[in-house]
């Protein structure tokens, strides 16, 4: 019996030790689910504060309650470490590290290559390596396979390699991790089988595709689809602004069509680790093949200009009352990239605040999910959403519409509101002059 056949039996018996590199928004929920399924799990991270929190049975993510961590930790099924030498003891290694863009919007695979180097130094026969971080098509085949085969081991014979894109949606209460089908693509058919068996224990459905490249493309298609459609509706919002139309009314009416229309909403820009970034990974890859991804590039351009459009609208609203942005007291409501989460990665609020500060505005923000925010080296601390703060504001800008904010109260206490999320829909205008994107 080969070592990979032995691994298959260990996976079926839930005796295989699962390793997870990167214990952030993707890695920690995955590690917890594997532990709850009965596997022994070792999580790896360079952040010692995260390691200490997990060892104490705590959690630093809103989507992962401390109780879900404490139990498997107490039972010895979940452990966290910064000692990457312990990768050698893992039978399955999941790579869940960040894949950001550089300042020139090229893929930054430095986190991937560091994780890959740690694996390469310890890889042994009978291990399965699964890449979950979003990246360009070909990463598994062109980067992982050559580096791991430098050890003399052969993929599909001595070790297995697969790609299984993460589909985490922070703050989503409707779809838990195991309810979202898991897409898997193996470097060889056996690699795909082993990865599918691994995930069948924690996901209700596993969808196997023909290759790692196909699985990589699946994730990019999902988020490119969203980015392009958001870009379209953002451009419609700009059109409606020029035409003097209410874009929210137009979208609501169009959404009544029972077929052929999918509802997307405009906003102050794109945020999060996926939608603003993933399309650029695909466009970058296609450039190397002398192919211009024109839809992607146009959507990126439109979405990137939305924070500046918001700031321009703020200036127009203040100008109507002979006020300038310079010196105006502007309160930003919500700085997370989406409602009811603490994640500020790529949040459009950061660019809005930067542009306002550049114009001399006195900016404060309220977001109980985010106690502190750094913008261009300046550190802002969250303010309480008090009556005094609202009454002192020249303008309140709703950038992220957290569900627990009383927007009716905001309208009653504020002189002017610019609402980029339609959070004030249906609220009468007793005092505030409410303008929407």
Instruction: Decide if pLDDT at 44 tops 80.
Output: yes
pLDDT recorded at residue 67: 95
Judgement on whether residues 202 and 77 belong to the same structural domain of the protein: yes
Judgement on whether residues 195 and 59 belong to the same structural domain of the protein: yes
By annotation, the residues acting in catalysis are 274
Judgement on whether residues 49 and 192 belong to the same structural domain of the protein: yes
Mean pLDDT in residue range 64-79? 96
In a domain, 128, yes or no: yes
pLDDT recorded at residue 430: 60
Instruction: Decide if pLDDT at 1 tops 80.
Output: no
pLDDT in tens, 397-436: 999 999 999 999 999 999 999 999 999 998 876 666 899 9
CATH of the domain at 116: 3.40.50.720
Mean pLDDT in residue range 282-290? 93
pLDDT in tens, 291-322: 999 999 999 999 999 999 999 999 999 999 99
Instruction: Decide if pLDDT at 253 tops 90.
Output: yes
In a domain, 217, yes or no: no
In a domain, 247, yes or no: no
pLDDT recorded at residue 168: 85
Mean pLDDT in residue range 27-50? 97
**Half-sphere CA count of 300, side-chain side, radius 13 A:** 18
* Mean of per-residue pLDDT scores for the chain: 95
- Count of structural domains within the chain: 2
In a domain, 429, yes or no: yes
Q: Cα-Cα-Cα-Cα dihedral of 250, 254, 255, 261, to 10°?
A: -130
Mean pLDDT in residue range 8-19? 97
In a domain, 333, yes or no: yes
Domain range spanning residue 164?
Answer: 3-210
Judgement on whether residues 135 and 52 belong to the same structural domain of the protein: yes
pLDDT recorded at residue 431: 64
Judgement on whether residues 83 and 162 belong to the same structural domain of the protein: yes
pLDDT recorded at residue 106: 85
Mean pLDDT in residue range 3-13? 96
In a domain, 243, yes or no: no
Domain boundary among 180, 210, 240: 210
């Amino acid at each position: 019996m080969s070592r990979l056949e032995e691994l298959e039996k260990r996976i079926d018996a839930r005796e295989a030790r699962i390793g997870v590199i990167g214990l952030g928004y993707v890695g920690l929920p995955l590690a917890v689910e594997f532990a709850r399924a009965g596997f022994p799990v070792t999580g790896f991270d360079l952040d010692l504060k995260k390691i200490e929190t997990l060892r104490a049975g705590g959690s630093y993510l809103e989507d992962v309650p401390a109780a879900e961590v404490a139990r498997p930790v107490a039972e010895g099924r979940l452990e966290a470490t910064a000692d990457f030498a312990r990768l050698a003891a893992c039978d399955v290694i999941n790579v869940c590290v960040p894949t950001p863009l550089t300042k020139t919007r090229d893929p930054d695979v430095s986190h991937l290559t560091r994780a890959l180097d740690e694996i390469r130094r310890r890889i042994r026969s009978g291990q399965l390596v699964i890449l979950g971080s979003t990246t360009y098509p070909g990463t598994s085949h062109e980067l992982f396979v050559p580096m791991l085969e430098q050890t003399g081991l052969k993929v599909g014979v001595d070790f297995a390699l697969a790609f299984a894109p993460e589909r985490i949606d922070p703050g989503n209460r409707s779809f838990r991790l195991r309810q979202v089908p898991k897409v898997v693509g193996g470097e060889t058919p056996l690699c795909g089988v082993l990865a599918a068996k691994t995930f069948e224990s924690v996901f209700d459905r596993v969808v196997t595709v023909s290759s790692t490249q196909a699985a990589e493309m699946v994730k990019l298609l999902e988020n490119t689809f969203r980015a392009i459609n958001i870009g379209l509706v953002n451009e419609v919002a700009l059109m409606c602004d020029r035409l003097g139309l209410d874009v929210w009314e137009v979208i609501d009416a169009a959404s009544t069509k029972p077929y052929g229309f999918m509802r997307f909403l405009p906003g102050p820009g794109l945020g999060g680790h996926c939608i603003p970034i993933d399309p650029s990974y695909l466009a970058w890859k296609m450039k190397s093949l002398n192919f211009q991804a024109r839809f992607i590039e146009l959507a990126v351009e439109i979405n990137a200009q939305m924070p500046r459009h918001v700031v321009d609208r703020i200036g127009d609203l203040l100008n109507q009352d002979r006020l300038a942005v310079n010196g105006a007291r502007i309160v930003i409501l919500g700085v997370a990239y989406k409602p009811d989460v603490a994640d500020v990665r790529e949040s459009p609020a950061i660019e809005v605040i930067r542009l306002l500060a550049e114009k001399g505005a006195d900016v404060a923000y309220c977001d109980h999910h985010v106690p502190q925010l750094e913008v261009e080296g300046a550190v802002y601390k969250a303010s309480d959403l008090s009556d005094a703060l609202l009454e002192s504001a020249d303008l309140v800008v709703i950038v992220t519409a957290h569900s627990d904010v009383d927007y009716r109260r905001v309208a009653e206490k504020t002189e002017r509101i610019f609402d980029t999320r339609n959070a004030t829909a249906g609220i009468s205008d007793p005092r505030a002059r409410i303008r929407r994107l």
